[in-house]
Amino acid sequence: MNNNWTNHINGYVRVRIDGDYPERFLNRCLEEDISIWQIKRAGDRRIVCYMDVEDAKRIRPLLRITGCKVTFLQRTGFPFLFRRMINRSGFIAGLAAFLTLMFVLSNMVWNVEIKGASPQVEHELRQVVTNMGIKRGAFHFTLPSVERIQRDVTEMVQGATWVGVRQKGTTFEFEVVEQQLPEEAERHSPRHLVATKKAIIHKIFVEHGQAEVKPNDFVRKGDRLVSGYIGKKDAEDEEKELVPAQAVVLGEIWYKSEASVPLETLFTTVTGEKKSKHFLSVYGFDIPIWGFGKVTFDTFQETDHERPFHLFRWSLPFTYKRSDFFETSQYERSYTKNEAIRAARERARIDLKKHIPSDAEIIGEKVLHEDVENGKVNLRIHYQVIEDITSEQPIIQGD
């Protein structure tokens, strides 16, 4: 059938045909393969029918042959609808304004939600976040990325251990995990304490259990320091009472570390001069929108930031991109041999501190060997460190 919805795409017209013998016109139309439908006799010399817009353009010669006159009564379908729409400029302006407004508003922050925070932490977080520019009415593409916000906020808010940041459409969600101090001491099961490292016992203080070593004893890794069995010395293990051993055993441990420092080093630093370029990238193609001209710095580093635009839940194919060019300069640092040795010792100490527990104490430091080779100072240093060497070994009772 002809009168289905596909006709609406191309559009069709209602036509009145006047003539002495309009049937002739119908037959001509059949010959020319012009499709017409819903033909009605409307009067003595008049028929009314529908035809496609494309076909309506081709009927002029047929009309001349058959001596008929045509009048268009009604225009239906998308092309006519579209033309009428264009003519109503207010409608188009409204549509455009709506889309623009929707686009602008959906790229704004509308809400900042904070979950799981106590009032003071929430207040603090709100202040930090507002200072970063995350507040109602801020545009998403002016804000740093979510990962960055998360990192900065976690650093800046004192009362929170971790702050999770999520962007849910126009809402920023902050999930706060607050610092909590353990409330109760853990309950221990019966255990021994053993050495974690090869060490010389420096000091031993037992709270529970039976000490099995004395100061200045040498212990290897895994040696028992404090026993969980308490009772008479000569009694069998089975007869003794079992307790969770608890003690502080400080041992002296020797560490050896190596450090090398070059005498001359080339550094690159950022001078603070900066130039930004802004782009609108469409499918990976960058269209500059602000910040023209060449970068005049001799040496520079470039960093790119990209922020996608959103409409409702979807990302649009264009993104806002900012390239920052930081001017850099280089300078050379040169050490004398003594300076280099001092720097190497400092570095070795810092290195060592990373590897030992924070409450450990360095009581001695001796340079074993030093030489200068290929413009580098190499050092081997020996450290004496006092640290806690206890580790727990549960006592598993037989069945």
Partner 1 sequence: MKKMRQQMKNWMTKQMQLPADVMMDLPRITMIGQLHIYIENHRGVLQFSNQELRLLLKQGQLLIKGDNFVIKTILPEELLLEGRIDQVLYLDERRT
Q: What residue ranges bind partner 1 (CB under 8 A)?
A: 1-3, 22-23, 26-27, 29-31, 33, 35-41, 47, 49
At 340 the three-state DSSP class reads: helix
Nearer to partner 1, 14 or 197 (CB): 14
Please identify, using beta-carbon distances, which residue of 36 and 385 lies nearer to partner 1: 36
**CB within 8 A of 99, min separation 6: which ones?**
none
Which CB sits closer to partner 1, 33 or 183? 33
Task: Give the Cα separation of 332 and 326 in Å (integer).
Answer: 20
Give me the least distance between CB of 40 and partner 1, in Å please. Answer: 5
CA distance 152 to 144: 10
Min. distance of Cβ 46 from partner 1 in angstroms? 11
Smallest distance, partner 1 to C-beta of residue 71, A: 19
Cβ proximity to partner 1: between 50 and 229 the closer is 50
Question: What are the residues facing 388 on neighbouring strands?
Answer: 250
CB nearer to partner 1: give 48 or 165. Answer: 48
Half-sphere exposure of 274 (CA within 13 A, CB side): 10
* Token pair 């009604």 in the structure block, residue: 74
Q: Which two tokens stand for residue 346?
A: 């400092």
The answer to whether the beta carbons of residues 309 and 320 sit under 8 Å apart is yes
Closest listed residue to residue 225, CA positions, set 241, 240, 203, 253: 203
CB of 60 to partner 1, least distance (A): 20
Please say whether the beta carbons of 240 and 381 come within 8 A. Answer: no
Comparing CB distances to partner 1, the nearer of 47 and 245 is: 47
Give buried/exposed letters for 56-75 (b at 16+ CB in 10 A, else e).
Answer: beebeebbeebebebeeeeb
